[in-house]
Amino acid sequence: MGACRCEDVSPRVDRFTPDGRTDRPVLGAVRGTAGTLVVDAGASPAHLAAFAAELTARGRPPVVAIALTHWHWDHSFGSAALDVPVIASEATAAGVAVQAGYAWDEASLRRRVDEGLELAFSLPHLLAEYSETERTGLEIVAPQVTFAERHAVDLGDVAVELVRVGGDHADDSVVAWVPDDRVLFLGDALYPCLWGDPEYLTVAGTRALLDRLAAFAPALALEGHDEDVADAAAYAARLAGLRRACDLVEAHGAGAPARVPADDEDLAELVGQLLAGEAR
């Protein structure tokens, strides 16, 4: 973990690696003859500007639009760094609008944490990502192009498909699919809901998400806060783990953890999250 780095993902795709110190997620860039689409606006204008500078240094075509995977601050607050349209689902735009209506000084932020309107987890990250002046002066950009369930972005010789998949982490979650390179940006779609203590998944939400993701067969898949890019085998194993955890919780309920092999910590964690969700 450290400062974000720009890396090649595939012939048409770059990524900016995540930085857990301020919860900066992965950013993506897909380029075609008509320009570059950035996937997620990042945690702050400084975050997106740093990625844009790297893309320019690499000689990539000008950025023509930003697509958001969901409304969470770390994915949507950087848009003002670039004077291009922001594309998002209607649900994501609604979430961004709520955030835009808030004050972002530290006292207001702490009050919202106390009221349960902001995650305690996000507080130190928001305080570290921005100075007080930057945060209070932040322009949270309302998406100018919205869609209900799916939207295609034409980049000339390449298209990017934005598809709303939902899930427990954020009901508005959208994936960005690059069929030509078989690259799938998942945003945070596979992660648990953080608005609970403990964080949780539901069987119904996870199964519905897996059904929607069955439409894609990526060679490379990128999760919002994962250091590594998953190849097809790692992605298949990730989905299989979620499916198996659902199967175990449905079949055995509270007895599910006893069915998890002792060395499978990932499966144990998913089962725990699903049991937490089913108990709500």
Size of the site for Zn ion (CB under 5 A): 2
For residues 141 and 88, is the Cβ–Cβ distance under 8 A? no
CB of 161 to Zn ion, least distance (A): 20
Nearer to Zn ion, 60 or 125 (CB): 125
Q: In the complex, what is the shortest distance from the CB of residue 251 to Zn ion, in angstroms, rounded to a whole number?
A: 30
Q: Is 72 in the site for Zn ion (CB under 5 A)?
A: yes
The rounded distance, in Å, linking the Cα atoms of 28 and 8 is: 10
Using rule CB under 5 A, residue 199 touches Zn ion: no
Q: Reduced to 3 DSSP states, what percent helix, strand and coil does the chain have, rounded to the nearest 5? A: 40, 25, 40
Residue number with CB closer to Zn ion (88 or 256) = 88
Q: Hey, how many other C-beta atoms are within 10 angstroms of the C-beta on 264?
A: 14
Do residues 14 and 61 lie in contact, with contact meaning Cβ atoms separated by under 8 Å?
no
The yes or no reply on residue 19 touching Zn ion (CB under 5 A) is: no
Tally the residues of the chain.
280
Least distance from C-beta 148 to Zn ion, angstroms?
A: 20
Of 72 and 164, CB closest to Zn ion: 72
Alpha carbon distances (Å) from 251 to 228, 256, 264: 32, 8, 18
- State the DSSP H helix or E strand holding residue 209, giving kind and residue range, or none if neither: helix 203-213
Structural tokens at position 186: 């998942």
Q: What is the C-alpha separation between 62 and 67, in angstroms, rounded?
A: 15
**CA-to-CA separations, 133 to 73, 120, 248, in angstroms, rounded:** 17, 21, 49
Identity of the residue, 48 or 55, whose beta carbon is nearer to Zn ion in the bound complex: 48
CB of 119 to Zn ion, least distance (A): 10
User: How far apart are CB 214 and Zn ion at their closest, in Å?
Assistant: 22
Q: Does 40 bind Zn ion (CB under 5 A)?
A: no
- 24 versus 72: smaller Cβ distance to Zn ion: 72
Residue of 23, 188, 223, 226 interacting with Zn ion (CB under 5 A): 188
Shortest Cβ 186–Zn ion spacing (Å)? 11
Which CB atom, from 36 or from 69, has the smaller least distance to Zn ion? 69
Residues that bind Zn ion (CB under 5 A): 72, 188
